[in-house]
Structure 1
Amino acid sequence: MKRALVAVVGTVVLTVIAVFSIASAMRDGRAVGDAPLSLARGPRLVALSSSPESRGRLLSARTATPDRRTSLASLRPALGGLSCERFYAANGTGLCLRLAKGFTTYQLVVLDAALRERRTIPLVGIPNRARVSPSGRLVAWTVFVTGDSYNGGRFSTRVGILDTRTQQLVPTLEDWAITVGGVRRRVPDANFWGVTFARDDRRFYATMSTGGRRYLVEGDLFARTIRTIRDNVECPSLSPDGTRIAFKSALGGDPSRGWRLSVLDLATMRETPLAETRSVDDQAAWLDDHSVAYAIARGRGRSDVWTVAADGTGRPALLLHDAYSPASLN
């Protein structure tokens, strides 16, 4: 009888310890039943889970395999406790856009390589895009907002940029000096989204809409200027070598018809449609100088991360099942 009682008590104690350990790991963003997740540079891909059981939680999978042609979909990614609506990471800095406590508003959280919170900023709007500069110094986000008078009270977008070293915050780009087609203009209906940074932590690219048209724009953080570069370019993503931009463009200029994923050579302005012919409503992420990753929805809030060559060759390959918001830590 005593032995049975001791066994029962021991089981209860072990269960309590296990539950506490799992809860603690989830609070800290560590992987449950695995080594702690990290945002340090290495051959890994991070993303968010779209599975109903773990939606929004951070996933991490190694990208180095014995056969580099092997799809990551055959691997089992580690699941962490950190939960976000949008996520991105680079060079040891993470950016998590998540529901705030109480689940009524959203907030931005800057994370270090060990997923420790370094700064939290309230967000006015619904998270849409997130990016970190290659150095890890700058973070940018896009939110949907309502109530702008020029837009008839419908949804608009707003971009913010934070320098994590100086803590200088750029809450909006709408009051910057804007040049459209080589002419300095006042643009009261400007909407911005989808920032991507150059390696110098000064220049960035983004999408700007005005007058019903969408432009690829280049911004200068020091001069606080923005200039248009190309028409019908959305959600740009600058390649690691800084020479090309992966982007989505509305078919026939009409977003209701879907988007085509392409790559733009910044030196020649030559566009190369990629082998992915399905509609890609995402800001692609470069895995390396030769391939990009992106999410494709498959209904009921679920999506998968796919990859395709950046030169228009080959065919799409599944990377991660039930995932979205990918970022390569290479």
Structure 2
Amino acid sequence: MRARGRVLIVAAVGVLLFGGAGTYGVLAYQDYQQRSSAPSAVDATDAPLGIPDGQHIAFRNTASGQGYGLLAFVPVDAPSGPRNLTDIACDRVAANTDVVSCLHTDRGITTTFGAALYDASLQRLRESPLAGIPSRTRLSPDGTLVATTAFVTGHNYATVGFSTQTTIHTVAGEDLGNLENFDIVVNDAPLLAADRNIWGVTFSADNNTFYATVASGGATWLALGNLTTRTMTAIAKTAECPSLSPDGASIAYKKRVSDTPSPFWAIAVRSVSTGEEIVLPEARSVDDQIEWLDNRMLLYGMPRDGSPGDYDVWAISADGAGAAQLFIEHAWSPSVLR
């Protein structure tokens, strides 16, 4: 085949691929518009011009109709009551009384992803591009550090060959690094594999120590990190998406308990001081980063059966003493304001 013929074929294929991607983007945008334009399926009010006072939970509203995908708030003591809706679209939320971290998808012919920070008045502090599909975000207890995780390839943690990018910044804007560039130790040896991935950061109160998931070769570890020395050391196997309790005494995470191609993740809680682990009586597979309601109760999101794109937030006791209870309907990515 002549060179010109090969060029024409490649060009034609490129046009087809671009057209397909454009069609997908348009359809996804139309679906989002239709889902969010009908009357809301829940009672909602306009949010005050700022993060609300008192004990609240921030989350992504997933009720169909107006307000779908927007940042919302409910009081801790009235989670089933009317929700305060903002005009801020988020896929993942982390918040405290002073700042909100919002990972978002901007749908259109070309879909892009971003990470935004908002102040207590819900005014945007800064915006930065995200490397891929939003996955996880966390704030340090004092709200000065923010971690973000995105899927660079793949779209969930059950996808074969997925790749993540996890970074830590100060809320003021200083880049503290991509965690893949930290020195990582597993079983007393450096982890140098090209397939290593890190995700699911949770911070301690000292603004230096953190925990995260390290993965390589199909295995996952709970790792203890140090921002000053830029190191991470594996301390336990089979632990993902850790979340440190407010008092720093316990770590909750999802624990893979099956070896099947479709993972099954249980919820586990580990004592920081003793390493003792208990698995909680949640019969469903949980693919979320746990949030602590307080030092006794855990919150997490679950897909709503028969309703793609819709979720509920559930609560379960961290000591394994009771079954899971529905906490907030039509909600995802809960974050307790402290």
TM over 0.5: yes
1:83 aligns with 2:95: no
Aligned-pair CA distance for 1:249: 0.8
Counterparts in 2 of 1:283 and 1:41: CA distance versus 1, 3 Å:
farther
- 1-structure distance, mates of 2:208, 2:131: 25
Tell me what 1:60 maps to.
73
Indicate conservation of the 8 Å contact 1:106/1:126, yes or no: yes
Q: 2:146 aligns with which of 139, 145, 153?
A: 139
Counterparts in 2 of 1:238 and 1:312: CA distance versus 1, 3 Å:
same
Aligned-pair CA distance for 1:312: 0.7
Cα deviations by residue, 1:216-258 (Å, 9 ceiling, x for unpaired): 0111111100100100000100000111111001123557141
Indicate conservation of the 8 Å contact 1:292/1:307, yes or no: yes
Counterparts in 2 of 1:108 and 1:183: CA distance versus 1, 3 Å:
same
- 2-structure distance, mates of 1:97, 1:228: 27
Indicate conservation of the 8 Å contact 2:57/2:75, yes or no: yes
Tell me what 1:181 maps to.
187
- 2-structure distance, mates of 1:255, 1:76: 40
Tell me what 2:135 maps to.
128
The within-5 A match list for 1:1-330 is 33-34=45-46, 36=48, 38-39=50-51, 42-53=54-65, 54-64=67-77, 72-73=79-80, 75-100=81-106, 104-146=111-153, 154-165=161-172, 167-254=173-260, 256-298=262-304, 299-330=307-338
Equivalent residue letter for 2:204: A
Aligned-pair CA distance for 1:35: 5.1
- 1-structure distance, mates of 2:285, 2:75: 27
Indicate conservation of the 8 Å contact 1:107/1:122, yes or no: yes
Equivalent residue letter for 1:300: P
Equivalent residue letter for 1:242: G
- 1-structure distance, mates of 2:313, 2:62: 10
Aligned-pair CA distance for 1:187: 3.2
- 1-structure distance, mates of 2:200, 2:191: 22
- 1-structure distance, mates of 2:290, 2:148: 15
Tell me what 1:8 maps to.
none
Cα deviations by residue, 1:18-38 (Å, 9 ceiling, x for unpaired): xxxxxxxxxxxxx98545153
Counterparts in 2 of 1:201 and 1:121: CA distance versus 1, 3 Å:
same
Q: Provide the secondary structure at the position in 1 that maps to 2:116.
A: strand
Indicate conservation of the 8 Å contact 1:219/1:225, yes or no: yes
- 1-structure distance, mates of 2:167, 2:310: 27
Q: Structure 2: 5+ residue runs without aligned partners?
A: 1-42, 155-159
Aligned-pair CA distance for 1:170: 3.4
Indicate conservation of the 8 Å contact 2:257/2:264, yes or no: yes
- 2-structure distance, mates of 1:276, 1:327: 20
Counterparts in 2 of 1:254 and 1:206: CA distance versus 1, 3 Å:
farther
Aligned-pair CA distance for 1:177: 1.0
Aligned-pair CA distance for 1:277: 2.2
Query: TM-score under structure 2 normalisation?
Result: 0.80
Indicate conservation of the 8 Å contact 1:140/1:160, yes or no: yes
Cα deviations by residue, 1:284-327 (Å, 9 ceiling, x for unpaired): 10011111100010241111001111111122121111000001
Indicate conservation of the 8 Å contact 2:47/2:86, yes or no: no
Q: Provide the secondary structure at the position in 2 that maps to 1:256.
A: coil
State the aligned residue count.
Answer: 288
Aligned-pair CA distance for 1:124: 1.5
Indicate conservation of the 8 Å contact 2:253/2:269, yes or no: yes
Equivalent residue letter for 2:235: I
Counterparts in 2 of 1:46 and 1:144: CA distance versus 1, 3 Å:
same
Equivalent residue letter for 1:139: V
Indicate conservation of the 8 Å contact 2:243/2:252, yes or no: yes
Q: Which moved more, 1:307-316 or 1:233-242?
A: 307-316
Among all aligned residue pairs of Structure 1 and Structure 2, give the percentage whose two residues are the same amino acid: 38
- 1-structure distance, mates of 2:334, 2:247: 19
